[in-house]
Amino acid sequence: MKLISLEDLPDNFKVGLENEFQIELFRKAIEKLGKRKPLAKELRCHPNTVSKMKKNYLFIKIFRLKKLAEITQVPLQDIEKKVISIGIFTKKQKGVKFKLPLESTPELSSLIGHGMGDGWLRDNFEFGFFNNRKELIDEVTKCMQIAFSTTLEPTERKYKPGEIIFSSKIGIMLELAGLPKGEKVFKPFDVPKWILHGNKEIKIAFIRALFDDEGWVKVKFIRQSSSTQRMIGINMTKSVEFINEHNNFLENIRTMLLDLGIKSSKIVEMGKSVNGVNLGFIISNLENLKKFLVIIGFTHIAKRNRLVDCLEKSKKFNQLFPSIIQTFKENI
């Protein structure tokens, strides 16, 4: 499904077009208006800038592309097909190369999930992710390359192993896709509608990413009943003033889990901190744990092993689902 189109980008955003197409687009515009100067006036720039853009020496701001589309009668949808890179100022500078429109994919959904988990989007649109698990660092990088471009490589912080940073141009695209900008604890946000109402693969990718970052697996012995409770849980902190929005966010995650056949507990308060209130919920019952393992799972190897291990020690689970554990142990 088309998620972000050329017309969705900010007006001051810059894009690069296929060389021959850009030259031809400016040729048509100049032909329509007669000379460079009238076109420069329409595009709000110097005539020399028109010449440079015509020769594809400069990349074009979105508001100028819209004006060019209007002058030449070339539909924006046709121009969009010729976009090859974004956020570049001159041909000498490296840019972020990928095609538009941006599609809704499991990889993009995973990036939004990780961004709401251990990731962040700064006010300057720098997107970063920090985790000490290499498999999660690799996953974020892989999802970036599939969702946007195989040429994308993160910047690694030498003084902070496990932290990777991506271009602010990608950050802008992620915000358009629904990732909140700024301090997440002090900002209300929700599951983007394209994920909440997306297909099974898109929902799974988002939930897995969020649980990889914020989820946990525990085994609890209950003295009163001399029984053992096995559970997967997730909890996150939010400033008190946005606690209702945070509750809605978690309820939507529960709804997506239910769409996948996985029941969870009600949302409860799990603690307080100087930053706010910690809300969360758990998934228990062997049937639900089995479904989570089989349908969603963890990319986080330690969490996946913990879940497999705690279920393996349950006699009842092995009686109900005799082949599940062996299958997952072989894949570890």
Answer whether 84's CB lies under 8 Å from 99's CB: yes
321: domain CATH number is 3.10.28.10
Per-residue exposure over 255-281, b if at least 16 CB sit within 10 Å of its own CB, e if not: ebbeeeebebeebeebeeeeebbbbbb
Q: Confidence band (pLDDT; 50, 70, 90) for 90?
A: very low
pLDDT at 226: 66
pLDDT digits (tens, 9 = 90+) for 155-173: 887 777 889 999 888 898 9
Are 74 and 142 contained in the same domain?
no
Distance, in Å, from the CA atom of 116 to the CA atom of 196, rounded to the nearest integer, reads 14
Q: How many domains does the chain have?
A: 3
Domain that holds residue 126: 104-183
Mean pLDDT confidence for 113-135:
94
pLDDT digits (tens, 9 = 90+) for 286-318: 999 999 999 999 999 999 999 999 999 888 888
Whether the predicted pLDDT of 266 surpasses 80: yes
In a domain, 98, yes or no: no
pLDDT at 93: 45
Q: What is the mean pLDDT of the chain?
A: 90
pLDDT digits (tens, 9 = 90+) for 175-212: 999 999 999 999 999 999 999 999 999 999 999 999 99
pLDDT at 320: 84
Are 221 and 322 contained in the same domain?
yes
Q: What is the value of pTM for the model shown?
A: 0.90
In a domain, 197, yes or no: no
**With the CA atoms of 162, 166, 172 and 178 taken in that order, what torsion angle do they form, in degrees rounded to the nearest 10?**
-30
Are 40 and 143 contained in the same domain?
no
pLDDT at 10: 87
In a domain, 281, yes or no: yes
45: domain CATH number is 1.10.260
